[in-house]
Chain A
Amino acid sequence: MAINDLYTDGIAGGWKVRDASTFTADQVLEADVAIVGSGAGGGTAAQILSAAGLRVLILEEGPLQTARDFRDMNEARAYATLYQEGAGRSSSDGALQILQGRAVGGTTTVNWTSSFRTPPETLKHWATRHGVREASEQDLAPWFQRMEEQLGVAPWGMPPNANNAVLRDGAAKLDWEWHVIPRNVRGCWNLGYCGTGCPTNAKQSMLVTTIPQSLRQGAELVHHLRVQALRFEGGRVAGLEARALKPDALAPSGVRVTVRARHYVLSGGAINTPALLLRSAAPDPHGQLGLRTCVHPVVLSIAEMPQKVDGYYGAPQSIASDHFQWKQGATGACGFKLEVPPMMPALLSTMFGRFGAELKDEVGHLPQLNAALALLRDGFVEESPGGRVRIDDAGEPLLDYDFSEYLWQGMREAYRRMAELQFAAGARRVRQVHLDARWAGNAGDALRHVETLRMVKFRTGLFSAHLMGGCAMGGDPKTSVTDSHGRHHQLENLHVLDGSLFPTSIGANPQLSIYGLVAKHATRLAGELAKG
């Protein structure tokens, strides 16, 4: 059954899609609005701005890959072509491993489809602590609703796979809060390969929704094009300097592209958006650029179940628990959300920290394994200021991220709770993703063992798939980069419209937070540009 990849027909029908790796001469591109990045923020902004009749140019450094390329459901191909740094991105010291997309559609092309509205507690915190205006639960509700409707966001209607069922059953047994995850899918085949690019176009990523809609509305998409710097003149952005990349989307081809527009939108995601502004020496009078980059640090716990789990098959995330998220309010002890990851073989093989015969034994149990993950809510208290994006001498981004006692305590608590959960669901044995970890055969033993783990970088397996902040929005230019509507405080014709706007982490998978907030901001911007 051949899946229509949308782009083959679309391009044949006149969509303006260009591959900069084929450019043979330097050139100048012009538009009303130039958008840097095509992920959750860029895609949403492009659709809304092009619907308003503006000439929109979408610039993406990654490749255009479609359902046709995703049919192999293969991790190696996906990591190499769809992820930042071949899925090898990490914090500057290597302690935190980062999964972030790099392709048309950005991270939405490879994420696991969990779609939560921004928790009201988070929005209240933004209003009271960060002076964010017009972003209350009521303010955002219509925008979330609009994006949910467009992207088919609804609680997963099929039974959870056995990996998610462990979370449901354990939470039910312990009388913990748990819920079915809303997913952005239509006609999902329940295969489990969201992370390698959806092969059936069921996932309503930007790749198959807002970007095609923008192209139908006359927007132009140029991929394999890396924006190197913004140029400024008289307190405004005067242009973008970009470099075409070779077909492998790595090295520059040598062709240079200049972009001129009335208005500029940065949607490269946390890390790349602040890095682009730093590289451009953008005005930053209060030194806020790159600060408060939050990551939802993730720790994991692996369980061997008596039954077959086959956790690589089926919707990867369908059950979550917020039981420990707001126990002590937004600013108490570190809260966390409990979920599970898809049990993809290569991803899992790196989590044991063992080698040789031990490694062989550990990974050989994959079909019976469940993993629980806790994503910690960073950035809400002084002891958790988030990390900092900076650039090296060549302008390449680096993320410095340190973990305070506040976060280490949160992680140890998460290890305890995940072990309890897994044993309550019937696990035979449980171990943490930690270099000190050994298997424990019952909850009591696991809890004692968790106390002995050295909670330090490298020994603790630390992951992030959620990059947030670095260009925080807020009412006070002294403590933020943009105003509450995403407009840069110092540069009038520049908006940041992506996850780097968040003043803290979200406390839930962030894609719908980006969609809703950007829909609101972009609609306002479209109105302003139409007037002026």
Chain B
Amino acid sequence: MPESSAPLSRRSLLKLGLAAGTVLTVSSLGAGLAGCSRRDHAAAAGLRRLRDADVELFRALLPVMLAGSLPAAAPLDGHLARIDDAVLRLGAPAQREVFKLFDLLHLRPARWLATGIAEPWREATPQQVAAFLERWRDSRVGLFNAGYLAFNKLCCTAHYTQPEGWAQMGYPGPLAWAYESLNR
């Protein structure tokens, strides 16, 4: 699908937003029928909540969300484990919402409509992912803002809770004298 023909005008996004509840319901249903619902799909190897498809999604998102802060070809396993843990700790209602969001982005027609990306996540280019994130962030549709913020929070906390992230922020870590004194 050529980029230009993707149905992404503000007008169509607005329409989509008005029908957002329906889209999410339909996509969850579609995902269910396609055998992709959380209940039917086991967690990815080594993880407790994220499924293989979610891992692919985050492997596409992380290098763009944290562009310039992740080394090239970083393995991302630590980030994925921390995102998995964050999702695991959410209450059941919040987990349901998170997986509705993931499912929307796994189902090809819904993904194309909502993000402009028809390709599977592993084939999406960083430019495509960046365009999708910008579109969701700047959208007038609250639901897209909400999805963007959820991804933003998951990716940021997976990174900036770690010493590599601290160094990039200029945070030196806990006061050294106190840390040494308390951990001696």
Contact = CB atoms under 8 A, between A and B. Distances in A.
Interface of A: 1-3, 71-76, 79-80, 84-86, 88-90, 92-95, 189, 191-193, 199-200, 250, 312-313, 345-346, 348-350, 353, 355-357, 359-360, 363-367, 392, 394, 396-398, 435, 456-459
B91 to A, nearest CB: 5
A88 B160 contact: no
A92 B90 contact: no
B89 A191 contact: no
A356 B61 CA distance: 10
B25 to A, nearest CB: 15
Interface stretch (B30-38, B52-60, B111-119, B173-181): B173-181
Contacts of A457: 142, 146
A356 B65 contact: yes
Contacts, number: 151
B93 interface: yes
B87 to A, nearest CB: 8
Interface in B120-155: 130, 133, 137-138, 142, 145-146, 148-150, 152-153, 155
A95 B162 CA distance: 26
B85 A435 contact: no
A364 B168 contact: yes
Closest 6 CB pairs of A and B: A86-B89, A76-B161, A458-B145, A73-B174, A349-B160, A356-B67
B160 to A, nearest CB: 4
Nearest to A71: B182
A88 B137 contact: no
18 contacts: A71-B183, A74-B174, A85-B89, A85-B90, A86-B86, A189-B178, A191-B174, A250-B89, A345-B169, A349-B159, A350-B153, A355-B130, A355-B152, A356-B64, A360-B68, A366-B169, A394-B92, A435-B138
A346 B91 contact: no
A396 B150 contact: no
Contacts of B142: 95, 456-459
Nearest to B67: A356
Contacts of A398: 93
A90 B179 CA distance: 32
A393 to B, nearest CB: 10
B91 A396 contact: yes
Nearest to A68: B182
Contacts of A76: 82, 157, 161-162
Interface residues of B, number: 50
Contacts of B174: 72-74, 191, 193
Contacts of B88: 86, 250
Chain B CB within 10 A, most for which of A93, A250, A353: A353
A89 B97 CA distance: 12
Nearest to B101: A94
Nearest to A368: B170
B24 interface: no
A74 to B, nearest CB: 8
Kindly name the residue among A85, A355, A396 whose own CB sees the greatest number of chain B CB atoms within 10 A: A355
Given A349-B165, A363-B160, 19 more contacts: A72-B183, A73-B174, A74-B161, A80-B85, A85-B90, A86-B89, A191-B175, A250-B89, A312-B171, A350-B152, A350-B156, A355-B65, A355-B152, A355-B155, A356-B130, A363-B169, A365-B170, A397-B91, A459-B145
A360 B64 CA distance: 11
A358 to B, nearest CB: 9
Contact of B89 (A88, A357, A394, A456): A88
Nearest to A398: B93
B11 interface: no
Nearest to A81: B89
Most buried by B among A93, A349, A365: A349
A397 to B, nearest CB: 7
Contacts of A200: 182
A353 B65 contact: no
B29 to A, nearest CB: 18
Contacts of B39: none
Given A85-B89, A88-B89, A94-B150, A350 B94 contact: no
Contacts of B90: 85-86, 88
B66 interface: yes
A94 B97 contact: yes
Contacts of A348: 160, 169
B44 to A, nearest CB: 19
Contact of A313 (B82, B162, B166, B175): B175
B139 to A, nearest CB: 10
B9 to A, nearest CB: 20
A200 B93 CA distance: 36
A195 to B, nearest CB: 12
B146 A94 contact: yes
A345 B160 contact: yes
B92 A80 contact: no
A84 B90 CA distance: 8
A89 B94 CA distance: 8
B170 A355 contact: no
Contacts of A84: 91
A367 B168 CA distance: 11
Given A1-B181, A367-B171, A86 B85 contact: yes
A458 B170 contact: no
Contacts of B89: 80, 85-86, 88, 250
B69 interface: yes
Q: Among B142, B153, B165, find the residue whose CB has the most chain A CB atoms closer than 10 A.
A: B153
A398 B91 CA distance: 9
Nearest to A356: B67
Contacts of B162: 76
B130 A90 contact: no
A95 B97 CA distance: 12
B103 to A, nearest CB: 16
Contact of B65 (A85, A89, A92, A359): A359
